[in-house]
Amino acid sequence: MAGPKKENPMNHFLDIHKTDPAALRAMIETAGQIKRARADRPKGAPDDDQPLAGRMVALIFEKPSTRTRVSFDVGVRQMGGQSMVLSGSDMQLGHGETIADTARVLSRYVDLIMIRTFDESVLHEMAEYADVPVINGLTDRTHPCQIMADVLTYEEHRGPIKGKKVVWAGDGNNVCASFLHAAGQFGFDLTFTGPAQLDPEEEFVGLARKAGSTVVIERDAARAVEGADLVVADTWVSMHDSQSSKERRHNMLRPYQVNAELMAKARPDALFMHCLPAHREEEVTSEVMDGPHSVIWDEAENRLHAQKAVMRWCLGV
């Protein structure tokens, strides 16, 4: 028994489609300002303003991470706060303590919780019972922080993403899901190209269409990328996929590899993104990753700036 639920008017950052579009737009603007303000400062120096001074942030990881872990940790510290990185398996959470009880206890110690977990029900239960804001650091179903960084990256290179054509090539996974959510909220169109077995969830396609975005499912990768402003790839085997499915997935996904030949069919000024970690010569070739269309290192850096804006919004600081 989790016990009684409470009224929870806090600014949780759980999913892009559950966050007000005006708030999302404000976060992207804030992230850009934060990035520009830091540009001339020494690497690692704290921000001029310290909105998280005296605040403690818990970063819980039930799955591996490089970018999310480091960018959140650095972001908190640059804003004057303190963070603690917790492994789910080392906590009582991994040994039978309920999520609701964990949320109640953590709320007595910290000001903000970021959690990366498997089933999204864990994230939602954490938010339901916490007295502090909760941020989605990835679930099996969504990865909203990544897409905030991706929108920031697109716009700093090419201007407004509204009305642009984004092509997702490969597996309709959790990152693809958050791209669909963002399509509806930021007003861009999304073409998915991949095998039917790995289509994005119909519910998410429907949400984007309902919000006014054109969502196209195109099995032919070459046709899909025609006129693309942005081409996005991701790993063919996500953290929650079984390793035994690897060969089958690779066979299905091979026609959707993003290589120079495919990128040449997009617009000449098209960008290439990948949330990383990448498997070079699988979902994308090194020629594309390291080539003129690629903005993957800016994209990785922008996790830091975008998440600082997300944390500030969550805390209202």
- Looking at the Cβ atoms of 144 and 200, the one nearer to ligand CP is 144
- Looking at the Cβ atoms of 146 and 173, the one nearer to ligand CP is 146
- Looking at the Cβ atoms of 33 and 66, the one nearer to ligand CP is 66
Q: Identify which of 95, 131, 127 has the alpha carbon closest to the alpha carbon of residue 114.
A: 127
Instruction: State both tokens at 306.
Output: 């975008």
- Looking at the Cβ atoms of 140 and 189, the one nearer to ligand CP is 140
Instruction: State both tokens at 223.
Output: 């046709």
Q: Closest distance between ligand CP and the C-beta of residue 90, in Å?
A: 18
Query: Which residue has 């099996």 as its token pair?
Result: 140
What are the residues binding ligand CP (CB under 6 A)? 65-68, 138, 146, 275-276
Instruction: Identify whether the C-beta of residue 177 lies closer than 8 Å to the C-beta of residue 200.
Output: yes
Q: Is 201 exposed, middle or buried (0-12, 13-18, 19+ CB in 10 A)?
A: middle
Q: Closest distance between ligand CP and the C-beta of residue 142, in Å?
A: 12
Instruction: State both tokens at 125.
Output: 């239960």
- Looking at the Cβ atoms of 24 and 138, the one nearer to ligand CP is 138
Residue type at position 149: A
For residues 169 and 150, what is the distance between their CA atoms, to the nearest angstrom? 15
What is the H or E stretch that residue 87 is in?
A: strand 82-87
Q: Closest distance between ligand CP and the C-beta of residue 84, in Å?
A: 17
Instruction: State both tokens at 57.
Output: 């942030």
The secondary structure of residue 40, as a DSSP letter, is T
Q: Closest distance between ligand CP and the C-beta of residue 307, in Å?
A: 11
Angle subtended by helix axes 174-186 and 202-210, to nearest 10:
10
- Looking at the Cβ atoms of 78 and 139, the one nearer to ligand CP is 139
Instruction: Identify whether the C-beta of residue 279 lies closer than 8 Å to the C-beta of residue 249.
Output: no
Instruction: Identify whether the C-beta of residue 190 lies closer than 8 Å to the C-beta of residue 175.
Output: no
Q: Closest distance between ligand CP and the C-beta of residue 136, in Å?
A: 11
Give me the active site residues, please. 116, 143, 146, 234, 275, 303
Q: Closest distance between ligand CP and the C-beta of residue 8, in Å?
A: 26
**What residue spans of 98-137 are helical by DSSP H?**
99-107, 120-129
For residues 27 and 34, what is the distance between their CA atoms, to the nearest angstrom? 10
